[in-house]
Structure 1
Amino acid sequence: MTTQIPLCWARLDSHAFLAAQAIAAALPAPVRELGAETARKVLASPPADVPLTPLARVEDLAVPTRAGRLRARRYHAPATPGGVLLYLHGGGFVLGTLDGVDEACRAIAARSGWDVVSLEYRLAPEHPYPAALEDAIDTFTWLREHDDRVAVGGDSAGGNLAAALCLHLRDHDLTPPVTQILVYPAVDDRFATPSWTEFADAPLLTTADARWLWAQYTGSAVIDEYAAPMKAASLRGLPPALVLTAEVDPLRDDAEAYAARLRADGVPSTVVRHTGVFHGFFTEVGVFAQTDTALDDVARHLRAH
């Protein structure tokens, strides 16, 4: 890391600032310079020897999809589940694993009373758009064959996939999720809102890295509303939403603008900005107090639905 601290880091609280320094020191180069294969190795999160949230039953699944069987993990709620949440991990469509969101999924299941199914969807650039979205659609369809109440959620790229899934189901007159949980979702391809400039050098995800990750995902594809949900002509008829954002995050303003559009189009939506933290905080269970609060936000929202 250079000695020059980005100005936007002054918005971080003391815990997040130390975490940002540690991340910067651990990265030998920006993600866009490391490339997909090396970045996956550097940023991989191994499973904890002893989970912070033990559950009596965590089940490995093989989900049938048009691309073949995909790995997934079902976290069974301690009591009779209120439903099942399909959770889609973040990582800019290029990174991310089941293990990386393991603690968050455990916490959601334990606190909400809902089962959680975490999907290992196909990653770019090996599998560009719409591969990951197809995986999400097929997994949701499969879950609906076994569960009456299915919600969808995800962080970052996973939030994009959750939002796009809801649009696809609406447009094809298919049964929608009971609710959508969008954690700092990537919903727009214009990189035009103020936070892209204000937090261009934010920890973990810079604007330059975000542009590179987006290019890996979309490749030469035409960017439609299922790639960038903000492009949808209308958001009417979508399921109720909970949108969580981080204060120091280039994606912040896009995510909050999407929540505003949902409300304007008659979709019940709640947006919560968590201050003092950066992109990626949601899955860092046990690291930030804001993570614990955000997990409670999600659990409360699921119980209400």
Structure 2
Amino acid sequence: MTEVDATWTEPAGAQHSVPVRVYRPHEPDPESTGLPCVLYLHGGGFTVGSLDGVDEVCRLISVRAGCVVVSVDYRLAPEHRFPAAVDDTRAAHGWLVENAAALGIDSHRIAVAGDSAGGGLAAALCLDLRSRGLPQPALQVLVYPAVDNTFERPSWTEFVDAPLVGTADAQWFLRQYVGDEGVAPSTLLTPLQAPSLVGLAPAHVVTAEVDCLRDDAEAYARRLEEAGVPVRHQRCPGVFHGFFTEIGTFTKATEAVTDVCAGLRKAFGDGTVTS
């Protein structure tokens, strides 16, 4: 069983508390140089979602990938609009790198992962690190990530009334995040619109077949590939948005997480991932 650090830590650099929950696959070895780590960002349309909502998937990743998982409780809209969640993600990552040794983590083997809104934040973090000339994560795991705001690709029409999140739901979440007046264009809000994706971390992209966000996420995977980024894309048939965290409910959730963990183990072992 994964052990959970019940003490939430406040990453340095933020002007407020950014709670995190830490999962470990086992007690740290005093002789070890540190375990690999995944910084995990939950979904929920930037508006809902919590550490508890991704507890099971974080536990499973910790055990099967043999790594520490640090789950981030970033601020939510509409009380905290863009770029609050991005700022908290940046602060949490910076705190993790700075305190890696004290946490028993290998600072050279830190990956970032997230589902839905969290996947968008994971993609944004990689763009933000590149813009600041900082090292990329070992891997970016993007599970049906929110990476665009145009709602133009076919899946937005094909799955307009998809289970859990339909097109109108996604549009409502975006309005909560940016406000009715919107915000200035930013690649940290819409990574798919970034002029270049060159030099970003290797990616493992998971999409659901019956999901209005599917085509945006798959377009991002293609753009990463075109930019020379190693990408593994996994479309899961017959499931809808939100399935990934439903461990014990959907067999395909456990299968998808297991596949992600295999990719993480490979990335932590040699720093690469292949398609």
Normalized against structure 1, the TM-score is what?
0.80
- 75-84 vs 170-179, greater mean Cα deviation: 75-84
Q: Which residue of 1 aligns with 2:262?
A: 300
Taking the TM superposition and a 5 Å limit, the aligned residue runs for 1:203-222 are 203-219=163-179, 220-222=182-184
Deviation at 1:66, TM superposition (A): 1.8
In 2, Cα distance between the equivalents of 1:105 and 1:58? Answer: 13
Which residue among 37, 43, 57 is the counterpart of 1:104?
57
Counterpart selection for 2:198 from 236, 240, 251: 236
**1:119 partnered with 2:72:** yes
Distance 1:282 1:61, change over 3 A: same
Residue 69 of structure 1 aligns to a residue in which SS?
A: coil
Q: Does 1:85 align with 2:85?
A: no
- Amino acid aligned to 2:239: V
Among 171, 181, 199, the residue aligned to 2:159: 199
Shift of 1:56: 3.6
- Tell me, yes or no, if structure 1 residue 63 matches structure 2 residue 20: no
Using the alignment, how far apart are the partners of 1:70 and 1:187 within structure 2?
23
Alpha-carbon deviation of 1:57? 4.2
Name the % identity: 52
2:84 aligned residue: 131
For residues 251-301 of structure 1, give each alpha carbon's deviation from its aligned partner in whole angstroms, at most 9, with x where no partner exists: 001101100000000000010001111100000010001001111011101
Mark the runs of 5 or more structure 2 residues left unpaired by the alignment: 29-33, 101-106, 268-275
Counterpart of 2:97 (choices 144, 155, 158) is 144
Give the secondary-structure state (helix, strand or coil) at the position aligned to 1:275: strand
Of 67, 72, 82 in structure 1, the residue corresponding to residue 20 of structure 2 is 72
Output the CA distance in 2 between the equivalents of 1:103 and 1:225: 31
SS at match of 1:173: coil
2:114 maps to: 154
- Residue 31 of structure 1: aligned partner: none
Aligned partners of 1:150 and 1:137: how far apart in 2?
14
Aligned residues: 252
**Alignment partners' CA distance in 2, 1:59 and 1:265:** 41
User: In the alignment, residue 147 of structure 2 is paired with which amino acid?
Assistant: V
Specify the alignment match of 2:245 in structure 1: 283
Please tell me the residue identity of whatever aligns with 1:73: R
Whether the aligned pair in 1 keeps the contact of 2:114 and 2:122 (CA below 8 Å) is yes
Residue aligned with 1:70, SS = coil
Counterpart CA distance in 2 for 1:57 and 1:245 is: 28
Alpha-carbon distance in structure 1 between the residues aligned to 2:20 and 2:160: 34
Contact in 1 for aligned 2:4/2:21 (Cα 8 Å): no
Asked if the contact 1:248/1:276 (under 8 Å) is kept, the reply is: yes
> What is the SS of the residue equivalent to 1:73?
strand
Q: Is the 8 A contact 1:59 1:75 kept in 2?
A: no
The one-letter amino acid of 1:67's match is Q
Q: CA deviation at 1:79?
A: 6.6
Tell me whether 124-133 or 167-176 shows the greater mean CA deviation.
Answer: 167-176
Partner of 1:22: none
- For normalisation by structure 2, the TM-score amounts to 0.89
In the alignment, what sits opposite 1:49? none
SS at match of 1:61: coil
Q: Residue 206 of structure 2 contacts residue 235 of structure 2 at CA under 8 Å; is this kept in 1?
A: yes
Counterpart for residue 16 of structure 1: none
1:175 equivalent to 2:135? Answer yes
Checking the alignment, whether the CA contact within 8 Å between 1:67 and 1:135 is kept in structure 2 is no
Paired AA for residue 69 in structure 1 = S
**Structure 1 unaligned residues grouped into runs of 5+:** 1-53
2:118 and 2:184 mapped to 1: Cα distance? 20
Amino acid aligned to 1:140: H
